[in-house]
């Protein structure tokens, strides 16, 4: 059975690559090397989640690297902080190391769980992986694991695996926090707008009801007056 090294960014994203590569006849090994994941407690959480996947699905796991230093990571970016541009610099060292290790340990191929995420730059990942493969003499196996996006989400929830809230680096963490704040503010505005609309509709219904009651009361009064005048006429 051919052996494949799967660079794994986290537990949830590794599930579908493992499942479907096994169906193809591959014997997978996971590789955790992610100097871009910040802060240290987040790096640990994702590693623990991957250890859980390794145990539950019986997949060997290779761990490499210590808890990263966000300041050093930012320094290595050389001022490239725009989302998209910085992501290439995030993929590159991980895929280079995965390719190098795959060649050194004589794996038949390597791939990455980054290809599962709908939020990653798929084309850039493939470019960096192929460049790394050419540099180190390894074979990069391309698969688009995004087809099984919802299967992976469902499986990760069933297994109770930690699901991260941002991509990885400290910059994406800040962006995620801002997006969550904006989403919460937007939700609050929408809730207030719905409440105001419901209040307006309730007030409109109240006024309509009052108008109807006033018309009915006036109608009754007119009938009563006509009856009074008729009776008065009959009595004279």
- Verify that 141 and 193 share a domain, yes or no: no
- pLDDT for residue 141: 98
pLDDT tens string 75-117: 777 887 788 788 898 999 999 999 999 999 999 999 999 999 9
Query: How many whole angstroms separate alpha carbon 98 and alpha carbon 114?
Result: 12
- Verify that 27 and 78 share a domain, yes or no: yes
- Verify that 19 and 124 share a domain, yes or no: yes
C-alpha closest to that of 141 among 130, 152, 153, 131: 130
User: Counting every residue, how long is the chain?
Assistant: 236
What is the extent of the structural domain holding 201? Answer: 169-236
- Verify that 31 and 107 share a domain, yes or no: yes
Buried b (16+ CB within 10 A) or exposed e, 174-198: eeeeeeeeeeeeeeeeeeeeeeeee
- Verify that 155 and 178 share a domain, yes or no: no
- pLDDT for residue 76: 76
- Verify that 113 and 216 share a domain, yes or no: no
- Verify that 81 and 146 share a domain, yes or no: yes
3-state secondary structure of 43: helix
The three-point CA angle 51-56-60 to 5° equals 55
- Verify that 43 and 102 share a domain, yes or no: yes
Domain total of the chain: 2
Report residue 160 CA to chain centroid gap: 16
Q: Which residue has the higher pLDDT, 167 or 146?
A: 146
- pLDDT for residue 84: 79
Question: Among 1-10, 47-56, 122-131, 179-188, which is the least confidently predicted range?
Answer: 179-188
Q: What DSSP assignment string belongs to 144-180?
A: -GGGGHHHHHHHHHHHT----SS-SSHHHHHHHHHHH
pLDDT for residue 36 is more than 70: yes
- Verify that 133 and 232 share a domain, yes or no: no
The CATH number of whichever domain residue 45 belongs to comes to: 3.40.50.620
Mean pLDDT along residues 213-227: 83
Q: Which residue has the higher pLDDT, 62 or 219?
A: 62
- Verify that 200 and 118 share a domain, yes or no: no
Tell me what percent of the residues of the chain surpass a pLDDT of 70. 100
Residue after which a domain boundary falls, among 164, 199, 224: 164
Residue after which a domain boundary falls, among 116, 139, 164: 164
Residue after which a domain boundary falls, among 118, 134, 164: 164
Mean pLDDT along residues 39-44: 89
- Verify that 121 and 213 share a domain, yes or no: no
Mean pLDDT along residues 35-62: 94
- pLDDT for residue 164: 85
pLDDT tens string 106-164: 999 999 999 999 999 999 999 999 999 999 999 999 999 999 999 999 999 999 999 98
Query: How many whole angstroms separate alpha carbon 211 and alpha carbon 204?
Result: 10
- Verify that 138 and 155 share a domain, yes or no: yes
Q: Global pTM?
A: 0.75
Mean pLDDT of the chain: 90
- pLDDT for residue 236: 65
């Amino acid at each position: 059975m051919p052996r494949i090294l799967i660079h794994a960014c986290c537990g949830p994203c590794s599930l579908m690559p493992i499942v479907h590569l096994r169906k193809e006849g591959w014997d997978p090994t996971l590789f955790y090397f992610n100097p871009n994941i910040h802060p240290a407690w987040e790096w640990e959480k994702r590693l623990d989640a991957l250890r859980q996947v390794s145990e539950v699905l019986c997949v060997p796991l290779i761990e490499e690297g210590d808890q990263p230093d966000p300041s050093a990571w930012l320094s290595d970016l050389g001022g490239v902080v725009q989302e998209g541009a910085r992501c290439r610099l995030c993929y590159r060292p991980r895929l280079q190391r995965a390719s190098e290790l795959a060649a050194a340990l004589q794996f038949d191929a390597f791939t990455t769980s980054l290809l599962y995420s709908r939020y990653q730059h798929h084309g850039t990942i493939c470019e960096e992986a192929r460049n790394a493969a050419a540099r180190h003499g390894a074979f990069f196996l391309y698969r688009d694991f995004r087809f099984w996006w919802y299967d992976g989400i469902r499986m990760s929830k069933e297994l109770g695996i930690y699901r991260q809230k941002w991509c990885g680096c400290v910059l994406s963490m800040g962006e995620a926090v801002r997006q969550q704040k904006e989403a919460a503010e937007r939700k609050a505005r929408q809730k207030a707008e719905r409440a105001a609309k419901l209040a307006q509709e309730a007030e409109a219904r109240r006024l309509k009801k009052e108008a109807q009651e006033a018309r009915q009361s006036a109608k009754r009064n007119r009938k009563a007056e006509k009856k009074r005048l008729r009776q008065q006429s009959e009595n004279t």
